[in-house]
Amino acid sequence: MSETSAIYDDIKEILEQARGKARLAIHSAMVEAYWLVGRRIVKEEQQGENRAKYGERLLENLSKELSTFFGRGFSYANLRNFRQFYLTYPEQKICYTLCSKLSWSHNRLIMRVEDISAREYYLRECAAQHWSVRLLERNIKSLAYQRLLSSQQESQTEQSKPEGSDHLEFLKDPYVLEFLQLSDNEPLKESILEQAIVDELQKFLLEMGKGFSFVARQMRISTETNHFYIDLVFYNYLLKCFVIIDLKTGKLTHQDIGQMDMYVRMFDDLKRGEGDNPTIGIILCDSKDETIVKYSVLKENQQLFASKYQKILPTEKELMEEIEREKRIISQQHKLNEETNEK
Instruction: Report the CATH number at residue 21.
Output: 1.10.10
Q: Are residues 253 and 267 in the same domain?
A: yes
pLDDT (0 to 100) of residue 154: 52
Domain boundary among 127, 144, 161: 144
Q: Are residues 133 and 225 in the same domain?
A: no
The gap from C-alpha 168 to its chain's centroid, in whole angstroms, comes to 13
Q: Are residues 121 and 235 in the same domain?
A: no
pLDDT (0 to 100) of residue 164: 45
Please report, for residues 78, 123, 174, 322, the alpha-carbon distance to residue 108 in angstroms, rounded to integers and kept in the order given: 10, 11, 27, 27
Q: Are residues 131 and 246 in the same domain?
A: no
Q: Are residues 139 and 158 in the same domain?
A: no
Cβ-based neighbours of 102, under 8 Å, separated by 6 or more: 27, 31, 110, 123, 126, 127
Domains: count for the chain: 2
Q: Are residues 205 and 131 in the same domain?
A: no
Q: Which pTM does this prediction carry?
A: 0.75
Q: Are residues 130 and 271 in the same domain?
A: no
Which of 32-46, 182-196, 198-212 has the highest average model confidence (pLDDT)?
A: 198-212
- Peptide bond between residue 174 and the one before it cis (omega within 30 degrees of 0): yes
Q: Are residues 140 and 201 in the same domain?
A: no
Whether 163 shows a pLDDT value over 50: the answer reads no
pLDDT above 70 as % of the chain: 82
Whether 157 shows a pLDDT value over 50: the answer reads no
pLDDT band at 159 (very low <50, low <70, confident <90, very high): very low
Domain boundary among 144, 171, 202: 144
Say which residue, 5 or 286, is predicted with more confidence: 286
First and final C-alpha spacing in the chain = 77
Q: Are residues 139 and 221 in the same domain?
A: no
Q: Are residues 44 and 111 in the same domain?
A: yes
pLDDT band at 150 (very low <50, low <70, confident <90, very high): low
pLDDT (0 to 100) of residue 303: 86
Quote the domain boundaries for residue 338.
147-342
Judged by average pLDDT, the poorest of 44-53, 77-86, 144-153, 248-257 is 44-53
List, for residues 298-312, the tens digit of each pLDDT value.
666 778 888 889 888
Domain boundary among 144, 165, 184: 144
Q: Own/partner pairs for 82-88, CB < 8 Å, 24+ apart?
A: 82/34, 82/35, 82/37, 82/38, 82/41, 83/38, 83/41, 83/42, 83/45, 83/59, 84/38, 84/111, 85/34, 85/35, 85/38, 85/111, 86/35, 86/38, 86/39, 86/41, 86/42, 87/38, 87/42, 88/119
pLDDT (0 to 100) of residue 297: 61
Q: Are residues 219 and 107 in the same domain?
A: no
pLDDT (0 to 100) of residue 156: 47
Q: Are residues 84 and 201 in the same domain?
A: no
Residues 334 and 157 sit within 8 Å (Cβ to Cβ):
yes
> Is beta strand 304-310 parallel, antiparallel or unpaired with respect to 280-287?
parallel
